[in-house]
Amino acid sequence: MNLNTVFLKDIVSRYKIKDISLLEDLFLFIVNNIGNLTNLNSILKYLKGKQIKTNLNTISSYIGYLKDAFLVYEVALYDLRGKQVFDRERKFYISDHIFRKCL
């Protein structure tokens, strides 16, 4: 099994994704930033730096697809003092570190 099989069968065909390279670059960003604080704007900035045209809604949707396929987990930050969840900053983790070898 390689990562392309997972992408093509579980995500691309299910959600009829047309820009497969965007999905791959997004996943690569998440893999390279495991456990780091990030937000949709920083991901958008990274992708635009690679000359990839997209928007926040597409990024949010694609992250949702990765989560639905159990490739990625998203963890929100929790403020212990204020007892609230921060909406902006997130940490992403991949479900299996073998995916790093597949890239």
Domain at 62, CATH number: 1.10.10.10
Range of the domain at 67: 3-102
- Which DSSP state fits 18? S
Q: Which is more confident, 8 or 33?
A: 33
Check whether 101 has a pLDDT greater than 50: yes
Q: State how many domains the chain has.
A: 1
Per-residue pLDDT tens digits for 33-89: 888 888 899 999 999 999 999 999 999 999 999 999 888 888 877 766 666 666 677
**Of 51, 74, 50, whose CA–CA distance to 62 is shortest?**
74
Helices (H), the chain: 3-6, 13-15, 20-32, 40-49, 56-68, 98-102
User: Distance of CA 2 to CAs 54, 64, 75, 98, 100, Å?
Assistant: 26, 21, 26, 10, 11
Does residue 1 register a pLDDT over 50? no
- C-alpha span between 89 and 100 (Å, rounded): 23
Q: In terms of pTM, does the model score above 0.85?
A: no
Residue 96 has pLDDT above 70, yes or no: no
